[in-house]
């Protein structure tokens, strides 16, 4: 069991951060157990060794907790690094593989929180901000001579988000990074040569490789 309590004389900020981290760690621990819900405040409080009201004091609600978990998954990874000298196709694939890597490292937790992150409301706003930042990076990775680079980058990012969601629901086996190379490469080829940006397929699009 992960404990979030600290010594009584510890500074308040230190105790607060310890409790916050204990709740985040508790979600990862619960996700590793079959049938455990890593997003249930009651189970999280028991696992972290704190009172349930502290969950709401730290995260506000379930949406705030999911957003914090997503940030923690990518903590320390920084922006996806792409090696210089790669061809455009490999640059973009490397970018998406770098986005997928933190989710693959904590796959049980990622599979639990990615579907929740696709819910409407505050989480949709946070997802939109992350999407916009990724599209900006992708736009710079595409060849500058292509028309509508930002629109093409948006097509690729939406395809990745759809693939990520399908993977989290068990509709795509194996590692997410492997799914990226297997399923986004064909779309990327079209994005790099088409005179107008293609549409991103949905996870159930019959054109998507199974």
In this structure, the answer to whether residues 111 and 26 fall within a common structural domain is no
* Co-location of 92 and 154 in the same domain: yes
Could you tell me if residue 67 is inside a domain?
no
Residues 113 and 150 placed together within one structural domain of the fold = yes
Residue-range definition of the domain harbouring residue 10: 1-60
Q: Which residue among 60, 77, 100 closes a domain?
A: 60
Which residue in the block uniquely carries the two structure tokens 């040569």? 193
Q: Would 173 be classed as within a structural domain?
A: yes
Same domain, 92 and 182: yes
- Residue 8, pLDDT score: 57
Asked if residue 31 is part of any domain, the answer here is yes
Q: Which residues, in sequence order, are CB contacts of 137 under 8 Å at separation 6+?
A: 79, 80, 95
Residues 169 and 112 in one domain: yes
47 and 95 belong to one structural domain: no
* 83 within some domain: no
Q: State the Cα–Cα distance between residues 70 and 121, nearest whole angstrom.
A: 16
**How many folded domains does the chain comprise?**
2
Of all helices (H) and strands (E), which one includes residue 172? none
Q: Please tell me the distance from the alpha carbon of residue 182 to that of residue 179, in angstroms, as a whole number.
A: 5
| Pair 46, 115 in one domain | no
Residue 17 maps to which CATH number?
A: 1.10.10
In this prediction, residue 75 carries a pLDDT of: 75
Give the Cα separation of 41 and 59 in Å (integer). Answer: 10
Residue 185 lies in a domain: yes
99 with 48, same domain: the answer is no
The predicted pLDDT at position 126 comes to: 83
Residue 65: inside a domain, yes or no?
no
pLDDT per residue rounded down to tens, the chain (210 residues): 555 554 555 588 888 899 999 999 999 999 988 667 899 999 999 999 999 999 999 999 988 999 999 988 887 655 566 667 788 889 899 999 999 999 999 999 999 999 988 887 778 888 888 899 999 999 998 888 788 999 999 999 999 999 999 999 999 999 999 999 999 988 988 888 865 555 566 555 544 443
């Amino acid at each position: 069991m992960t404990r979030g309590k600290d010594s009584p004389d510890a500074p308040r900020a230190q105790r607060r951060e310890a409790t916050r981290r204990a709740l985040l760690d508790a979600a990862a621990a619960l996700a590793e157990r079959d049938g455990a819900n890593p997003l249930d405040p009651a189970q999280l409080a028991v696992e972290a060794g704190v009172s349930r009201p502290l969950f709401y004091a730290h995260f506000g609600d379930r949406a705030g907790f999911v957003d914090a978990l997503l940030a923690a998954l990518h903590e320390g990874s920084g922006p996806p690094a792409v090696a210089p000298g790669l061809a455009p196709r490999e640059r973009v694939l490397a970018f998406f593989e770098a986005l997928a890597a933190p989710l693959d490292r904590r796959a049980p937790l990622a599979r639990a929180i990615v579907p929740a992150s696709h819910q409407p409301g505050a989480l949709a706003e946070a997802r939109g901000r992350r999407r916009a930042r990724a599209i900006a990076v992708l736009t710079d990775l595409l060849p500058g001579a292509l028309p509508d680079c930002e629109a093409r980058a948006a097509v690729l990012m939406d395809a990745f988000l759809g693939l990520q969601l399908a993977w989290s629901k068990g509709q795509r086996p194996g590692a997410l990074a492997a799914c990226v190379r297997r399923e986004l490469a064909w779309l990327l080829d079209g994005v790099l040569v088409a005179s107008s940006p293609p549409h991103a397929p949905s996870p159930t699009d019959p054109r998507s490789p199974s």
